[in-house]
Chain A
């Protein structure tokens, strides 16, 4: 399934515009969609420019889905850090007398084909998902931003070479490329992180480059250039802060897709290796018992869904607040590749 990647791109490519929540005047919440079409007698006031931390937090607080997403993410963080201690049983406590038991008081999520406690495995597996998600997006962010900065700032042949390279990576369906990379490097936690990181690099490079191109033409940057400020200093002091908003949005959305990709890879046996638990792998192992033991298919999948949903809710809300410009249709079209 290509889902993760397509979603990353198609999502970034929602055609924004006058009617989109993010460009509507005043607090950009979901309710804005009900606002009337602006007529010339009442031109919409310009949505606030990229907000401060406080304004962002205030806006998020008034957005119930974002609040829910944040709460879930905080809970996940706790589970990710303390899963081992929260788990009622050991993840590899095999108990042949307790095989494939439906959910009960002793085993709220039931037991698997080896009699292991599903709840414990789901809890402990949260760490793997978050870890892979964070590290791979971190890789994509670091490499992608560097590439985008260099390409956007220096232009010319460097731009051409780097961005054609990104085009090449963009020419593969996301999961296919990740699978191919893991296949040659050998399956495992680290290779999964690297593969997912590589796959999501181009989108960060493109977002960064586009923002740099826009910032480069602004007066304060041209002024800094004209007084001979060093490139590195301009990039760090002037350019990076100005491209932070789209990057934050892209990061939070990419986390969702990276976690989906990790689940897919581990479903294919290419992620973290047994006996360590991973949600995707648990679904794969449980698929033979689907009709007899629904809990084996249900709970790990629900865990993936809830995690991804939480990242998406927060990401959407951040986008509404931070990136009011959105993408134009033509840009969106390009970023769907």
Chain B
């Protein structure tokens, strides 16, 4: 177990180094002088010189990279070309908005996918099963931002039940947050729910065909005990990991929904940074999300090893 975690940890460190390299090189790919491009019409020599100095673009590439990684290790991701604020604090400020949206979306998805997936596997071929499959095929094919637009049209426009966009912090006004998060979370959650429904369904089907399930039935256990103790306990191990990975990818991945709903999260930050050509912020946001993604995956592996006793030996 310890060795398994250690090996995964080392792997993650190597990948993370690669990630920093990619993120670092992003700035080098900008055609021309990135500082100049970033300033655009707001160009003035003094600001330019200050930013240029600060960004260290005059130094050799290797030195720049090492210094970038060195600073990143201490939590320093540079300063915004626009506001001069430290990138780290700009990104962290956006985390609650994105975090609360992602978690709500995944919870919503689980609420739908868990019963639907389990039921459609247990009654495979039934009406429920067919409905679940149509639902999940619909969900994996539909663009979530289109669902968002349709949601706004129906719930904000026609019915007038929910605000069309905007954000209220959960800590300021829970009810206001809830009414604002409902539409974007449902739009994102619908897609996640479809993926999870498929996954849960096939996972449960696979376990239902296992010999040990027949063993459990041969023991005369109640159906509920067979399902909960023997089927779900095994079927949900891979599902837990997929849920965690989905959650991780949502943190950096709900860009379009955040733009559509004016939701001030990390995705929206990325979009704004792209529009403003604020490259340090873009780099910081991307690096932050990728790091979080890697950490979540590491966590998932450890979790997996804890849930499945067979892995501990490896």
Contacts and interface: CB of A to CB of B under 8 A. Distances in A.
A–B touching in complex (CB under 8 Å): yes
B81 interface: no
B146 A301 contact: yes
B5 interface: no
Contacts, number: 232
A15 B205 CA distance: 9
Interface stretch (B71-79, B152-160, B166-174): B152-160
Interface in A289-307: 290-291, 294, 297-298, 301-302, 304-305
A15 B199 contact: yes
B15 A164 contact: yes
B253 A291 contact: no
- The A contact surface, by secondary structure, is helix
Interface in B233-248: 238, 241-242, 245-246
A74 B218 CA distance: 52
Given A176-B255, A268-B256, A6 B141 contact: no
What is the predominant secondary structure among interface residues of chain B facing chain A?
helix
Nearest to A330: B238
A168 B203 CA distance: 28
Interface string B1-19: 0000000000100111011
Contacts of A185: 29, 31
Q: Which of B153, B203, B253, B289 has the most CB of A within 10 A?
A: B253
A186 B30 CA distance: 8
A287 interface: yes
A291 B125 contact: no
9 contacts: A2-B255, A5-B249, A37-B208, A171-B18, A173-B251, A176-B252, A176-B270, A179-B270, A267-B260
Interface of A: 1-3, 5-7, 10-11, 13-20, 30-31, 33-34, 37-38, 65, 164-165, 167-169, 171-177, 179-186, 256, 260, 263-264, 267-268, 270, 280, 283, 286-287, 290-291, 294, 297-298, 301-302, 304-305, 308-309, 312-313, 316, 329-330, 332-333, 336-337
Given A179-B255, A280-B143, A336-B242, 6 more contacts: A1-B143, A10-B195, A15-B206, A172-B286, A280-B145, A308-B143
